[in-house]
Structure 1
Amino acid sequence: MARAATREAILDAALTIVADKGLEAMTISRLAEVSGASNGSIYHHFGSRGGVVAELYRAGFAELVGEMIPALDERPAEAVVPELAGRFLDWIVAHPTRAEFVYRASTAGVLPEEETAAFKARVMAPLATWFGARTARGEVRPVPAWALDAVVMSPVHECARRYLAAPATFDLRRARPEVEHAVWAIVRP
């Protein structure tokens, strides 16, 4: 396999394993078996099992935030903030395996906390900048940058988790208007 193809095969295998059997089942030997890559290739590309987890987490989280960023425009905050929540939910529905991985990895204690916090701050910088400018205009209440994901988006996270746990019984699209309203309620002045 070519380098890039090997790397992608390993990441795809990791997602497949986690979706099928959970994060605990993702071992180097299982990654090698599912991806067709050698153990040495996995260590070469990622350094460890934790390196695979960290790479998939970073890629998934960046993709999720990237889905939200196009909403950051000059419309009133009352229109933009609910759209951010809606775009987040749309990404969850469109990418349930990646979303499941992002949630599992973030709560499994397998990612270095300081490194993850710095990464999230970089990825979420456009959101923090937009919220900072809107706070200065009085359109949203002051919210520290760290709270944008943990506090402001908490209704989105809860509904996403419920959907991922039981997609057949939790209608995320039906919940969307309530979630959008709840997120706006958290930040409105």
Structure 2
Amino acid sequence: MRSTSRRAVLDAALALVAGGGPEAVTISALTARSGVSNGSVYHHFGSRAGLFAVLYGESFAHCMAALTPALEVEGAEGAVRAVVARYLEWVVGNPGRARFLYAAPHSADPAVKLGAFEPVARWFAARMAAGELRAVPLWALDPVVMGPAHECARRYLAHGFDLESSTRLVADAVWAAVAPVG
């Protein structure tokens, strides 16, 4: 029962975020939507911030798991383009989690996020060392590599723009940012 009620609270939080943003996630709204007691929410997460930390870590790991297989694509350019495409597909397929990642307070343990991002960082570091990609500091990978994808995803989530038809254009922009110089 413990994992069932924990999952119910996490699912309720995602649904509440999708309907009204993180502000909609209150303990009373969680209990009403999930069917668990106040005590159960506090037992599993300690607080609303604790719930957000777990949900952020889980959602970020879910996203990374979806795009990491793109790193297996042959060649640096193909893999970079595939990462962009997989990310945008993930946003379209998981709008609640994507909205949460963009809107939630960054309350996740940085070690959790770094752990999920580690395979991507390792892949990029190896390609940069081999001269297959432009050298970018690892701390800047997300804004440099995924910046255009993030901005398009935000606009899709806020306004419903056609994200899927923009994938190639976004992948072109990302490749141009990381293609080796010279």
TM band (smaller chain): over 0.9
1:130 aligned onto 2:126: no
Letter matched to residue 37 of structure 1? V
Which of 160, 171, 179 is the aligned partner of 1:180? 171
Match of 1:104 in 2: 103
| Separation of aligned partners in 2, 1:96 and 1:53 | 17
Letter matched to residue 123 of structure 1? A
SS of the residue corresponding to residue 135 of structure 2 reads coil
| Separation of aligned partners in 1, 2:151 and 2:167 | 12
Match of 2:66 in 1: 67
Q: Larger deviation: 17-26 or 154-163?
A: 17-26
Normalising by the residue count of structure 2, what TM-score does the alignment of the two structures yield? 0.94
1:60-112 Cα shifts (integer Å, max 9, x gaps): 1111111111111261101110110000000000111111111111xxx3516
Deviation beyond 4 Å, 4+ runs, structure 1 = none
1:152 aligned onto 2:145: yes
Match of 2:13 in 1: 14
Residues 110, 85 of structure 1: alpha-carbon distance in 2 compared, 3 angstrom cutoff:
closer
Identity over aligned pairs, percent: 52
Give unpaired runs (5+ residues) of structure 1: none
Normalising by the residue count of structure 1, what TM-score does the alignment of the two structures yield? 0.91
1:31-60 Cα shifts (integer Å, max 9, x gaps): 111111111110110010011111111111
1:165 aligned onto 2:158: yes
| Partners of 2:148 and 2:173 within 8 A in 1 | yes
| Separation of aligned partners in 1, 2:92 and 2:72 | 24
For these two proteins, the number of residue pairs brought into alignment is 180
RMSD over aligned CA atoms reads 1.3
SS of the residue corresponding to residue 146 of structure 1 reads helix
Give unpaired runs (5+ residues) of structure 2: none
Residues 73, 142 of structure 1: alpha-carbon distance in 2 compared, 3 angstrom cutoff:
same
| Separation of aligned partners in 1, 2:54 and 2:176 | 34
